[in-house]
Amino acid sequence: MGKYSYFVINQKNTKTGKRIATALRVHNCNNLLYYFKKYTYADMELTSINACDTWKEAQKIADHWNECARTNGEYLFA
């Protein structure tokens, strides 16, 4: 089994300004430039990528960012 790195990304809809954060587990054999490009599509732009030490940390940060977006009325699926 290979090694993995953990990231949390934040995406923003360019038309509505709504946001969503997602925790990701990425196998270390991936080219990160091309891996993260797939999260920039249509009306969505990637606004941040943060490396995390663990999967649990990435999930915790993504959950916190999404809760902040909900509070501010900026959550994508609200």
Cβ proximity of 66 and 75 under 8 Å:
yes
Hey, which residues does 21 pair with through a beta bridge?
Answer: 10
pLDDT tens-digit profile, the chain (78 residues): 679 999 999 999 999 999 999 999 999 999 999 999 999 988 999 999 999 999 999 999 999 999 999 999 999 986
What pLDDT sits at residue 1?
61
| Nearest residue to 9 via CA among 54, 56, 53, 66 | 66
